[in-house]
Amino acid sequence: VSVKALKYADELVQTAGKVASKGRGILAMDESNATCGKRLQSIGLENTEDSRRAYRELLVTTPGLGQYISGAILFEETLFQKPEVLLDGEHDIDACLEVQEAVWAETFKYLADNKVLFEGILLKPAMVTPGADAKVKASPETVATYTLNLLRRRVPPAVPGIMFLSGGQSELEATLNLNAMNQSPNPWHVSFSYARALQNSVLKSWQGKPENLAAGQEALLKRAKANSDAQLGQYDA
């Protein structure tokens, strides 16, 4: 471990701990301009710098958001690419587990070989679910059992936070699955780092119209609170 890394170790561990704090998770808003354009297009807006700024401003100026959101991931500041297992496909949940076990075994081997400080990282995995087009769907309890099995097998308890991406799940599915995982204590803070599952209804409510700003912010706060409750295992649909 380099001297420079040691110098920042305490700060890094403290920051990871703050982000992974009770009842809070991450607002992922690191869409590239192209992806942000797709989201804006879905409500009939042009992908201009002005509309991207208006949308991002709506998100970050939502009053009271800090109670449920402990950090945000921004496009310009994305520091690493993500090892992500996509939801696409017809495969079943067992196939997803097998692939994720292989991915995380390799990832953690490399992290350990490179002396990464596990207390200072946050992991952002996909949940273990059947493919989006699979014939058999999985209940939140099944998703929770498979996903927690995966984490227990592959992720050391020194890692402070597991911040799941939503990966194309519906807003409600993402909340229910997270809630199911927090029904009993876990060695890590099990939380969210959702983009689509926090933003889908924001876009629908906003529609790019200044008069809908408050409605958009209200939609964001509603999803943020629901996921905060789910982080505590107390979400009540």
Residues that bind ligand 13P (CB under 6 A): 28, 30, 73, 165-167, 194-197
Q: Are strands 122-123 and 161-164 parallel, antiparallel or unpaired?
A: parallel
Work out how close the CB of 32 gets to ligand 13P at its nearest, in angstroms, rounded to a whole number.
10
Given the complex with ligand 13P, which of 122 and 195 has the nearer CB atom? Answer: 195
Work out how close the CB of 196 gets to ligand 13P at its nearest, in angstroms, rounded to a whole number.
3
Given the complex with ligand 13P, which of 93 and 195 has the nearer CB atom? Answer: 195
Amino acid at 104: W
d(CA 11, CA 15): 6
Given the complex with ligand 13P, which of 9 and 29 has the nearer CB atom? Answer: 29
Given the complex with ligand 13P, which of 80 and 113 has the nearer CB atom? Answer: 80
Work out how close the CB of 195 gets to ligand 13P at its nearest, in angstroms, rounded to a whole number.
3
Work out how close the CB of 31 gets to ligand 13P at its nearest, in angstroms, rounded to a whole number.
7
Work out how close the CB of 109 gets to ligand 13P at its nearest, in angstroms, rounded to a whole number.
23
Three-class HEC string of the chain: CCHHHHHHHHHHHHHHHHHCCCCCEEEEECCCHHHHHHHHHCCCCCCCHHHHHHHHHHHHCCCCHHHCEEEEEECCCCCCCCCCCCCCCCCCHHHHHHHHHHHHHHHHHHHHHCCCCHHHCEECCCCCCCCCCCCCCCCHHHHHHHHHHHHHHHCCCCCCEEEECCCCCCHHHHHHHHHHHCCCCCCCEEEEEECHHHHHHHHHHHCCCHHHHHHHHHHHHHHHHHHHHHHCCCCCC
Work out how close the CB of 161 gets to ligand 13P at its nearest, in angstroms, rounded to a whole number.
14
Work out how close the CB of 39 gets to ligand 13P at its nearest, in angstroms, rounded to a whole number.
10
* 194 contacts 165 by C-beta, under 8 angstroms: yes
